A and B are shown apart, each in its own frame.
Chain A
Amino acid sequence: MAARDVTKAVILWLGVAAACWPGGGNAAELKIGLSADVTTMDPHFVAAQPNLTAQQHVFDSLVRSDERSRPVPGIATWSTPDPLTWEFRLRKGVKFHDGAELTAEDVVFSLERPYTITGSPGGFQTYVRPIVAKEIVDRYTVRLKTAAPYGALLQDLAEVMIVSKKAAAQATGEDFDRGKAAIGTGPFKLARFVRGSRIELTRHDQYWGGRLPWDSVTLLILPSDPVRTAALLSGQVDAIEHVPTADIARLRKHPQLRLAQTVSWRTIFLHVDQSRDRPPGVLSRAGQPLDKNPLRDVRVRRALSKAINREAIAERVMEGLALPAANVVSPSVFGHNPAVKPEPYDPEGAMKLLAQAGYPGGFSVTIATPNNRYMNDEQVAQTVAQMFSRIGVATKVEAMPLSVYFGRARNKDFGVALLGWGSRAADLALRSLVATAAPDKGYGAWNWGGYSNPGLDQLVARSLGTVDPAQREAVAREAAALAAAEVAFIPLHYQVVTWAMRSTLSYTARTDEFTFAHFFKPR
């Protein structure tokens, strides 16, 4: 009798224990395969997109970019009391990963930290340089002053992450990598950074943005394309970014996977040299130097643009993963002018224009392109070369790895060069790409073609100097229209960016190509 009672008690106890036992699969874990290596977790060291992808899981910035690349409030909202002043009001109660509250001190410290970074090949000073004075009004309010009205401050501040002054004061890059200094207000805490392999994150329960569906996130570094796809197919990861074009058709048909796509901010275009009389590679059909530079004539440039069948490139070479372009920024980005349409394919019109410009027999050029940077970059250049040849401009293609390409392009080694550009605002893009090179003002840093149009420069300056967003966009659109009318560069297409994931997940595809675990949601 006693034994039976004991047995009953034991069974009852086991039953209760089993019911209370934390059931195995409750922890929601997300594994994402990234396509490029993350070199450091210090958010102010080098502005490389793969680094920013990982760092923005741990840190926030004052201004966030939504999926259309437009500025939205991050940990702060803003207003402009006057054209030279920007007032940022922080959200109250935003907690760092160590429990401390975010205050204006942390913001000011973070905005000054880029100046203290040494040994960086490309830091964040560009983004904070327009700020000439920072004022802490109270615990949650910061006032920033610029020397001249500068409308692009929001886009710039979206790149600067806010760190904890307490944790990051005197911190080295290694302190961030080990996690000691990597204290941010972002949705995830850094658990482990295994360089070259993975980044392990755990949920920040006091995240100001609310409760996230994922307890832990692992970002796996898988730069090799077929391997990334294999990792998704075998279930090792739940989602991957930058699906290789060759695999998209297959993944689309897979019953347990789904894709998310959108037009990316990356515009692929050709720089054409308009500054020199004898640019390299631009010769007569017989291979002799010409007495003047045909690319200086807008009719010749428009003819070249007409010769390109952008739809065919998008459909065949890019396998549908491109949208023909006319603006320097893609459709959802600030400053895109919908009235400017891609140049229609018109080889006869192109040949007529060439004849009008004085080149009825054509001439010859060489297109330079990287071969390991943009989607199908070399193939696109080859296709464009063939299209040029059809209107009488005999074209060769010179392809090379990126490490060689940028250096030579900066040395102005090329007459026609392919480039891809992603930007959050048209005026910023135009400033770098086609404004007259002015090192003191920072204009034209990437103006390889040497294009110079004072009218365009004025429009760009006016646009950047307009603080009201609606007015600024109107001026930016005007500048974009002028650049297109003058064929300052020859736009080709905007790339399409693809994510692949398990069909139980959804992701809001982003124009800026960033992959964030906090925007993956279970369906």
Chain B
Amino acid sequence: MLAFAIRRLLQSIAVLFVMSALVFVGVYAIGNPVDILINPQADQAEIAAATRALGLDQPLWRQYWSFLAGALAGDLGKSFAANIPAVQLILERMPATLELALGAMVIAVVLGIPLGLWAGLRPDSVSGRVIMAGSILGFSLPTFWVGLMLIMVFSVWLGWLPPTGRGETVKVLGVTVSFLTWDGLQHLFMPALNLALFKLSLLIRLTRAGTREALAQDYVRFARAKGLTMERVVRVHVLKNIMIPVVTVTGLEFGSLIAFAIVTETIFAWPGMGKLLIDSINVLDRPVIVAYLLIIVLLFVLINLIVDLAYTALDPRVRLAGRST
């Protein structure tokens, strides 16, 4: 187990290096942020001075070297546009994105697994078919369009929910969260729903497929033959066994929920990390782009690790690589 974790750690450090190098080269190839951010009335001397001040006149390898030196000391640089440390900027916005992603995950799980179970238990009924048709819509409709439609229907026409932004926040253990206030929940509902749609459809289909497969297994038939009620069979036996693919996919998808909440954050003006990334790319704010991608890579690695560990906990037949049976 320890060997497994250490090996994972080393792999992730390698990924971090490669990632940072790629981003550096990429942003360098696009252009110079000073051109975009410079005061239009500035003259050539100012532009040169600003370029020097940000270290952008140095050759690429030297810029990367100073970045690495700083990174190993824990300093990933200061945002060009906001003049505060890039890591701080991202961590400031991370609770908002995590809240959105968790909210989306909760909606997807709470709705998806029961609906998928139902569709799996009654595949040929009207309700089962409706659920499956709905899941197809959830896959195919583009997030951007669905988000705008939600705003139109719930905010502009019905006036039930506020269209944009994050609601009232409270600090819990130093982290600002908004789901503990009613106003916050009102603001959170639509973006979370918008983000959850894809995952919801995925979970419905996955759960349904798993349920169909599990119901055909021998142990289910033996349990029924022994006299257990269908309800107990499903709740105790089937559910646990379909959890493995569900947990794996949920875990992996959670990472992508965090990383790719960009569209939802843009539509709902949700002050999260994704929006920060887009804005930073637009002005070539390299420290923020690099810091963001490194943090996301770390997050993915962590999530994958947790999923792998949960896997062993759920399925006694699986052993982590490196352990002899």
A residues whose Cβ falls under 8 Å from a Cβ of B? 37, 39-40, 42, 45-48, 118-127, 156, 172-174, 177, 194-198, 220-224, 226-227, 230-231, 233-236, 372, 401-404, 406-408, 410, 421-423, 428, 432, 437, 439-443, 445-446
| Bitwise interface map of B from 34 to 68 toward A, beta carbon under 8 Å scored 1, else 0 | 11111111111111011001100000000000000
- Tell me whether A445 and B83 are in contact in the complex, defined as CB-CB below 8 angstroms, given that A122-B37, A406-B31 are known contacts: no
- Tell me whether A197 and B34 are in contact in the complex, defined as CB-CB below 8 angstroms, given that A122-B39, A403-B283 are known contacts: no
What A residues does B266 contact at CB under 8 A? 223-224
CB pair B37–A177 under 8 Å, yes or no, is: no
CB pair B46–A126 under 8 Å, yes or no, is: yes
Name the CB-closest residue of A to B49: A125
CB pair A445–B44 under 8 Å, yes or no, is: yes
CB pair B50–A122 under 8 Å, yes or no, is: yes
**In the assembly, what is the distance between CA of A127 and CA of B43, in Å?**
11
Instruction: Indicate which residue in A119, A126, A222, A408 contacts B39 across the interface (CB closer than 8 Å).
Output: A126
CB pair A402–B271 under 8 Å, yes or no, is: no
CB pair B269–A220 under 8 Å, yes or no, is: yes
Main secondary structure, interface of A, reads loop
B319 an interface residue at 8 Å Cβ cutoff?
Answer: no
Question: How many whole Å from A228's CB to the nearest CB in chain B?
Answer: 8
User: Which of A119, A196, A402 is the most central at the interface, judged by chain B CB atoms within 10 Å of its CB?
Assistant: A196
Other than A195-B271, A432-B41, give 11 A-B pairs with Cβ distance below 8 A: A118-B53, A121-B33, A126-B42, A127-B39, A173-B84, A196-B276, A230-B164, A231-B163, A236-B163, A403-B282, A406-B36
Instruction: Indicate which residue in B36, B148, B151 contacts A403 across the interface (CB closer than 8 Å).
Output: B36
B residues whose Cβ falls under 8 Å from a Cβ of A? 30-47, 49-50, 53-54, 78-84, 89, 92-93, 148, 151-152, 155-156, 159, 162-166, 266-269, 271-272, 275-276, 279, 281-284
CB pair B78–A119 under 8 Å, yes or no, is: yes
What A residues does B271 contact at CB under 8 A? 194-197, 221
CB pair B84–A442 under 8 Å, yes or no, is: no
CB pair A227–B83 under 8 Å, yes or no, is: no
Question: How many whole Å from B54's CB to the nearest CB in chain A?
Answer: 6
Can you offer 29 A-B residue contacts whose CB atoms are under 8 A? A39-B82, A46-B83, A47-B39, A119-B54, A119-B80, A122-B42, A123-B46, A123-B50, A174-B84, A195-B89, A195-B271, A196-B272, A197-B165, A197-B166, A220-B164, A223-B266, A230-B155, A231-B163, A234-B162, A236-B155, A402-B36, A406-B32, A406-B36, A407-B30, A428-B41, A439-B44, A442-B43, A443-B43, A445-B42
Instruction: Indicate which residue in B49, B83, B89, B162 contacts A45 across the interface (CB closer than 8 Å).
Output: B83
Instruction: Indicate which residue in A120, A230, A421 contacts B40 across the interface (CB closer than 8 Å).
Output: A421
CB pair A236–B33 under 8 Å, yes or no, is: no
Name the CB-closest residue of B to A173: B83
CB pair B39–A123 under 8 Å, yes or no, is: yes
Question: How many whole Å from A369's CB to the nearest CB in chain B?
Answer: 16
CB pair B275–A196 under 8 Å, yes or no, is: yes
**In the assembly, what is the distance between CA of A197 and CA of B187, in Å?**
13
**In the assembly, what is the distance between CA of A194 and CA of B167, in Å?**
12
Instruction: Indicate which residue in B92, B269, B282 contacts A401 across the interface (CB closer than 8 Å).
Output: B282
What B residues does A432 contact at CB under 8 A? 40-41
What B residues does A423 contact at CB under 8 A? 40-41
What A residues does B82 contact at CB under 8 A? 39-40, 173, 195
CB pair B47–A445 under 8 Å, yes or no, is: yes
